[in-house]
Amino acid sequence: MISIDSEKPCIAWDPKWNAIPNMTKTEIREQTKRLATTQINFALFKHKAPEVNLTEYKMLQKSRRVMEKVCPKDEVPPMFLRGALRMFRHALNESLSTYPYRVTGDEGENIRIMDALKKCYEDPQTSTIHFNYDPKACPKKVN
């Protein structure tokens, strides 16, 4: 259950969802620090996160390039997209060192996806993003 309160941010979580074990909270906090350090090291020293050689990650990179072309730069800055992908790459590398990745799917499907992304990149259709956020418009409860 998600309860809505227009006096606060639009969504307030059910208290039972806050019952995360302390060990998990500590790991989340530590990983957040590592990801922030990755961003700071890149900004100050141009240290890059380790590379990831997965087809799915390459799809994400291509998708980011499409978004950079399609999304208005003042609404979705390319620096934000690159930073988000850089932090994801760092978190993915940490995850892969603990939980090895098993390749699934077929190569034909991957080729079709990459071809579609390439087509989108080469001939993008620009769009405008419109946000009409009104906290008073939030319903009182959502189940």
pLDDT of 121:
86
**pTM reported for the whole predicted model:** 0.63
CA of residue 1 relative to chain centroid, distance = 24
**Are 114 and 63 a contacting pair, CB within 8 Å?**
no
> Residue 30: what pLDDT?
87
In this predicted structure, what is the pLDDT of residue 3?
Answer: 39
Contact (Cβ atoms closer than 8 angstroms) between residue 82 and residue 49: no
Q: How many residues does the chain have?
A: 143
User: Integer distance in angstroms from the first to the last C-alpha of the chain?
Assistant: 5
Q: Which residues of the chain have pLDDT under 50?
A: 1-9, 143
Q: pLDDT value at position 6?
A: 44
